Amino acid sequence: MLVYLAKYEKAPGIRMLSPSPIPEAFTLHLKKGVGVNTIKLLAAEALLKPDWVDVLFHILTGRTPWDRDGIRKAAWTLHHVYLLDERSLLSHRDAFTDLLDATSDLSVLREIFKILGSPLWSDVETTAQRQELLQLGMDLMYDDSLPLGIHYVAIQLTSFRMAQKEDCVAVQEAMAHLKATVGLESAPLRNCIDRAAMRFQKNWN
């Protein structure tokens, strides 16, 4: 686990997921070498079968043992479930908390951050969950060792979780640090930072 991925608070009254039978399709396809078309088919099926989504979370949190490549494919599949229906995973907010606490694999985290970068989470997140992901997004921006793909989603994580002007100031400081450290060769990210900073400043000034 990345050191700044602290324990996340769970919303009250939400039961923990219990292990479900492993679909044969997961055994066959959640492994190295499986391409995007197969992952899309798995996601489409999972969208129709909630117990499949539960199993994906079990794999990603380590409750159902799987190898590294299969875990990465599970994250990819979950992201494609989200792409098919952005609201389909909202009831699993606590499971994402467990997932973030369970992994330090950047390939997995990148897919999960893409999902959690949706403003739709504003409908279901507790104040503590919002604040924690806001802080996580800023921490990611301050981590110069991370790949650019993580830095892009870090901006997304913070973009709709600011609740007061002080949050905006803190996020802008984190983005300024990121822009200063990525270098001139990362022009697309620098442009993304500039656009986000202008948007945030307009919304909060």
Question: What pLDDT digit, counting tens, does each position of 83-108 carry?
Answer: 999 999 999 999 999 999 999 999 99
143: containing domain: 128-205
Q: Can you state the angle between helices 106-116 and 148-159, rounded to 10 degrees?
A: 30
Where residue 61 falls among pLDDT bands split at 50, 70, 90?
very high
pTM of the model: 0.87
Average pLDDT of the chain, as a whole number = 89
- The answer on 178 and 90 residing in a single domain is no
Average pLDDT, integer, range 30-50: 96
In-domain check, residue 7? no
Report if residue 136 sits inside a domain: yes
- Residue 9: per-residue pLDDT: 42
Q: What is the pLDDT of residue 205?
A: 72
Question: Tokens standing for 205?
Answer: 């000034």
Percentage above 90 pLDDT, the chain: 82
**Residues 87, 63 within the same domain:** yes
**Complete DSSP assignment for the chain:** --TT-PPPPPPTTPPPP---PPPHHHHHHSSTT--HHHHHHHHHHHHH-HHHHHHHHHHHHTSS---HHHHHHHHHHHHHHHHH-TTTTGGGHHHHHHHHHH---HHHHHHHHHHHTSGGGGGT--HHHHHHHHHHHHHHHH-TTS-HHHHHHHHHHHHTT--SHHHHHHHHHHHHHHHHHH-TT-HHHHHHHHHHHHHHHHHH-
| 174 located within any domain | yes
Of the residues 124, 152, 167, the one at which a domain ends: 124
